[in-house]
Amino acid sequence: MKKLVFSTGAGISAESGIRTFRDSNGLWEEYPVMDVASHTGYLKNPELIHKFYNGLRKKLVDAQPNSAHYAIRDLESMFDVRVITQNVDDLHERAGVSNVLHLHGELMKVRSTKHEERVYTLTPDNLETSLDTRDEYGDPVRPHIVFFEEPVPNFSEGMKLAQQADIFVVIGTSLVVYPAASLIDCVRPGTPIFYIDPNPSNISRPNLTIIKKTASEGMKELTEILKTMQ
């Protein structure tokens, strides 16, 4: 099977009601980005961090995967599908996608502040954490999120997947958030690249096809194209 690698951003989840940070009426308008999504902000006001991500989790559990998520899953019958996502939601997994690599962490998980390898999955009936929350070892926890100013531990694995791609697809991202935006530069010369976004960035690459549509509509078009490329 050919390896079909997706790089997904906020645009694929927007149709599920997950607000993006950078769009008009996005989340950044309610909170300064460095207050709720940076290492400095976490150290400065960890209580706000817990409150902010508790709120995001409550919204996430009410959201559902959309047709774009399911379309990626359905392609697993034709390709070796891998997803590299900037999103911290779990909509790819809930749609049944088998192989998902999260670059920026996972909203439904927390980890120990003392032993970051100790990661815990929250459940819909146990979403909230606070400064008083402790893990089974008695350690405080924090959101399992890669804040600004922190390294992106899964990026090297993402680079490897991009390099291995026989077909590479970018969906719903502005291609301005680094290092994730540089994944497209890791794709081998000659590899077909597709970029789905209603407002795509002005980029130029050999073998690049831009599909100027929403994620769901774009995936319908792409699926038909991919049927001829197995």
- The more confident residue out of 214 and 178 is 214
| Residue 96 neighbours by CB under 8 Å, 6+ apart | 70, 73
Per-residue pLDDT tens over the stretch 72-86? 999 999 999 999 999
Exposed, middle or buried, 4 (CB in 10 Å: 0-12/13-18/19+)? buried
Cα(109)–Cα(120) distance, integer angstroms: 5
Q: Find out whether 177 and 148 touch, Cβ atoms under 8 Å.
A: no
Task: Give me the mean pLDDT over the 201-211 stretch.
Answer: 92
Task: Give me the mean pLDDT over the 130-136 stretch.
Answer: 97
Residue 22 has pLDDT above 60, yes or no: no
3-state secondary structure of 54: helix
Q: Is the pTM of this model over 0.85?
A: yes
- The more confident residue out of 202 and 91 is 91
Task: Give me the mean pLDDT over the 152-175 stretch.
Answer: 96
Q: Which is catalytic among the residues 39, 104, 115, 144?
A: 104
Averaged confidence pLDDT in the chain: 93
pLDDT score, position 26? 46
Q: Comparing C-alpha atoms, which of 120, 150, 117 is closest to residue 134?
A: 120
pLDDT score, position 25? 47
At residue 205 the predicted structure's pLDDT band, cuts being 50, 70 and 90, is: confident
Characterize the bridge pairing of strands 3-8 and 80-85: parallel
Q: Comparing C-alpha atoms, which of 189, 177, 199, 150 is closest to residue 7?
A: 177
Q: Comparing C-alpha atoms, which of 64, 42, 60, 61 is closest to residue 51?
A: 42
At residue 184 the predicted structure's pLDDT band, cuts being 50, 70 and 90, is: very high
Per-residue pLDDT tens over the stretch 50-77? 999 999 999 999 999 999 999 999 999 9
Instruction: Give CA separation, 208 vs 24, 77, 78, 171, 224, in Å.
Output: 28, 24, 21, 13, 17
Exposed, middle or buried, 48 (CB in 10 Å: 0-12/13-18/19+)? middle
At residue 177 the predicted structure's pLDDT band, cuts being 50, 70 and 90, is: confident
pLDDT score, position 229? 94
Tell me the two tokens of residue 215.
Answer: 């994620």
**Angle 108-198-180 (CA atoms, 0-180°, nearest 5)?**
50
pLDDT score, position 24? 43
Known catalytic membership, residue 104: yes
Q: Find out whether 149 and 40 touch, Cβ atoms under 8 Å.
A: yes
Tell me the two tokens of residue 184.
Answer: 């497209």
pLDDT score, position 230? 86
At residue 175 the predicted structure's pLDDT band, cuts being 50, 70 and 90, is: confident
